[in-house]
């Protein structure tokens, strides 16, 4: 499968001259001003990262190498039975910048199938963790345990020339991505199915095999997971999981270290854990109301109560987006196409009718619209994947595609160690021209 690596090398090399020119001759070009609010609100809107794989527009949503999600649903190769695009194709697009052929996609699928063997020590590490510890704890620990196999780390220690770092990083990235479905399914079957594991089927595609190993081996679930893996794969470089992976990688940490760190970031409730919180929040609501078919008025009151309690309404709001997340819309359309009358999905749709005006009326929530996490749990639940505490692991498997592709770019471009400047409160007060009142 060297030709995929060679194509990446050729396409990324074309950018090297531009990058060198930017750093050498145009380093003093000013990109904008930074104000105190931007720094104190989590560095929002400060252009600070170079990320090739995707770009997020606040008023339009995500584009992968220029393509929106609906465009990708049309253009990326699918299985012969139609359905949803294959995540292998999205990975190719993010790495190479072109829509792949079906043959390219099959080749990546085959490559990942040959690399998918998970070393026994990773299973042993998972089995040593209490079964009732969070699935994301088990997932990130298993990833970390595989750093033992990093070819990048071995090459670095052997003194390899830095111009070849990307090649070893590519090898680690492809192997790590290939292993993740097996790791995730192992954790799933361990926790929820008495450790009754299902062996991989190497003839299946990456997402299809995940459905198979989880024990949800229908065409519908395979299709859902293919779509799920595509829409969660990347959201430009600044989100917590992507930025953490990139930051840890900038110290020349190997892909296993960097991605495990990114996954620990994804596990936070304001990021990937929100997909579980949405389910918990809805079930708390239906329990309190004593009905699983709440009216719009009942939902409105529950949202107000959540806000009064000083809690967030999970699945709503975004640090960048200012519209309904297209990833929400794509899932809603999937439900409209395949699912007839599901009470939970009806409730999710009702929340979408009710929540935005209430959130907007607070006057402080910048984006009152739903994000990706508002819908994903209800779809999984419909198809029998009801164990919501596992949902962030599925998000993590998908997120590997974007953040690990970016890690190969980082080493290809020779991006340096990341080290922003920090300042004390006194410095900020001085800049604002005010005295401390403390
Ligand atoms: N419910 C209640 N309050 C909310 C809110 C929500 N859904 N979204 C924002 N706010 C609040 C913030 O907590 C903040 O309050 P304070 O000023 O009291 O601190 C205020 O509104 C302004 O926040 P913001 O500028 O609109 O939003 P941020 O960029 O700070 O945060 C978040 C963005 C996504 C973290 C936020 O909207 C949120 O907490 N949403 C709920 C959790 C969630 O769905 N997270 C998943 C996001 C998508 C993702 O990354 N998926 O992985």
Can you tell me the mean pLDDT for 379-384?
98
Mean pLDDT, the chain, integer? 97
Q: Is the pLDDT of residue 143 over 90?
A: yes
The half-sphere exposure of 139 on its side-chain side, counting CA atoms within 13 A, is 31
- Nearest residue to 304 via CA among 264, 358, 259, 254: 358
Question: Which residue's CA is the closest to the ligand 1 atom numbered 23?
Answer: 365
Output the CA 233–ligand 1 centroid distance in Å: 21
Q: Is the pLDDT of residue 1 over 70?
A: no
Residues with CB under 6 A from ligand 1: 239, 270-272, 274, 307, 312-319, 364-367, 371-373
Please state, in angstroms and as integers, the Cα–Cα distance from residue 371 to each residue in 179, 186, 226, 299, 374, following that order. Answer: 28, 29, 19, 18, 6
> What are the two backbone dihedrals, phi and then psi, of residue 231, each rounded to the nearest 5 degrees?
-75, -25
Question: Which residue's CA is the closest to the ligand 1 atom numbered 50?
Answer: 271
Structure tokens at 169: 């990083």
pLDDT number for residue 80:
73
pLDDT in tens, 240-281: 999 999 999 999 999 999 999 999 999 999 999 999 999 999
Task: Map 56-119 to HEC letters.
Answer: EECCCEEEECCEEHHHHHHHCCEECCEEEECHHHHHHHHHHCCCCCHHHHHHHHHHHHHHCCCC
Output the CA 270–ligand 1 centroid distance in Å: 7
Please state, in angstroms and as integers, the Cα–Cα distance from residue 79 to each residue in 82, 109, 214, 223, 242, following that order. Answer: 5, 11, 20, 9, 29
Tracing tokens 């600070």 back to the chain, one arrives at 48
Q: Is the pLDDT of residue 340 over 80?
A: yes
Can you tell me the mean pLDDT for 323-352?
97
Q: Is the pLDDT of residue 103 over 70?
A: yes
Please give the model's pTM, rounded to 2 decimal places.
Answer: 0.97
Domains, the chain, with CATH or none: 274-382 (1.10.230.10)
Other CB atoms within a 10 A radius of the CB of residue 102 amount to 14
Q: Is the pLDDT of residue 81 over 90?
A: no
pLDDT number for residue 438:
81
pLDDT number for residue 49:
97
Tracing tokens 């949902």 back to the chain, one arrives at 391
Those residues with Cβ within 8 angstroms of residue 130's Cβ, 6 or more apart along the chain or in another chain: none
Question: Which residue's CA is the closest to the ligand 1 atom numbered 20?
Answer: 365
Query: Which of 54, 234, 264, 317 to mutate to test ligand 1, by most ligand atoms within 8 A of the CB atom?
Result: 317
pLDDT in tens, 350-367: 999 999 999 999 999 999
Output the CA 311–ligand 1 centroid distance in Å: 10
Rg (CA), the chain: 22
Output the CA 62–ligand 1 centroid distance in Å: 19
Question: Which residue's CA is the closest to the ligand 1 atom numbered 34?
Answer: 318
Q: Which residues are the active-site residues?
A: 271, 318, 373
Output the CA 132–ligand 1 centroid distance in Å: 29
CA 307 to ligand 1: nearest atom = 2
Question: Which residue's CA is the closest to the ligand 1 atom numbered 17?
Answer: 364
Q: Are 376 and 272 in contact (CB under 8 A)?
A: no
Q: Helix H segments across 116-192?
A: 120-128, 135-145, 151-157, 165-192
Other CB atoms within a 10 A radius of the CB of residue 185 amount to 25
Structure tokens at 116: 């998918």
């Amino acid at each position: 499968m060297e030709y995929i690596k060679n194509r990446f090398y050729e396409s990324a090399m074309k950018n090297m001259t531009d990058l060198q020119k930017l750093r050498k001759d145009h380093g003093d070009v000013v990109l904008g001003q930074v104000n105190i609010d931007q720094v104190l609100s989590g560095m929002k809107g400060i252009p600070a990262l170079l990320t090739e794989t995707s770009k997020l527009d606040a008023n339009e949503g995500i584009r992968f190498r220029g393509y929106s999600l609906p465009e990708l649903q049309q253009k990326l190769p699918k299985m012969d039975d139609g359905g949803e695009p294959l995540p292998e194709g999205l990975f190719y697009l993010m790495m190479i910048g072109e829509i792949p052929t079906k043959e390219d996609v099959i080749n990546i699928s085959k490559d990942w199938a040959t690399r998918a063997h998970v070393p026994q020590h990773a299973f042993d590490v998972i089995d040593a963790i209490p079964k009732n510890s969070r699935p994301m704890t088990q997932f990130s620990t298993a990833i970390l345990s595989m750093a033992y196999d990093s070819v990048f780390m071995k090459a670095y220690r052997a003194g390899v020339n830095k111009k070849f770092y990307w090649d070893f990083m590519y090898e680690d990235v492809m192997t790590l991505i290939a292993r993740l479905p097996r790791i995730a399914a192992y954790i799933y079957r361990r926790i929820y199915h008495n450790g009754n594991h299902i062996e991989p089927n190497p003839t299946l595609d990456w997402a299809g095999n995940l459905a198979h190993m989880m024990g949800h081996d229908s065409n519908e679930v395979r299709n859902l997971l293919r779509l799920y893996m595509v829409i969660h794969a990347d959201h430009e470089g600044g989100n917590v999981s992507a930025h953490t992976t990139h930051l840890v990688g900038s110290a020349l940490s190997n892909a296993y270290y960097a991605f495990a760190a990114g996954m620990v970031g994804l596990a936070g409730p304001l990021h990937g854990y929100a997909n579980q919180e949405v389910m918990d929040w809805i079930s708390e609501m239906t329990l309190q109301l004593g009905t699983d078919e709440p009216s719009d008025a009942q939902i409105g009151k529950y949202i107000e109560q959540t806000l009064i309690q000083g809690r967030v309404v999970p699945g709503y709001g975004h640090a960048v987006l200012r519209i309904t997340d297209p990833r929400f819309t794509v899932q809603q359309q999937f439900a409209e196409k395949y699912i007839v009358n599901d009470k939970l999905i009806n409730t999710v749709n009702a929340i979408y009718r009710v929540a935005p005006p209430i959130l907007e009326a607070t006057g402080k929530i910048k984006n009152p619209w739903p994000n990706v996490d508002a819908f994903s749990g209800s779809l999984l639940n419909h198809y029998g994947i009801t164990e919501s505490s596992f949902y962030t692991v599925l998000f993590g498997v998908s997120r590997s595609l974007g953040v690990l592709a970016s890690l190969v770019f980082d080493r290809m471009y020779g991006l340096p160690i990341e080290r922003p400047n920090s300042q004390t409160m006194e410095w900020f007060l001085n800049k604002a021209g005010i005295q401390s009142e403390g």
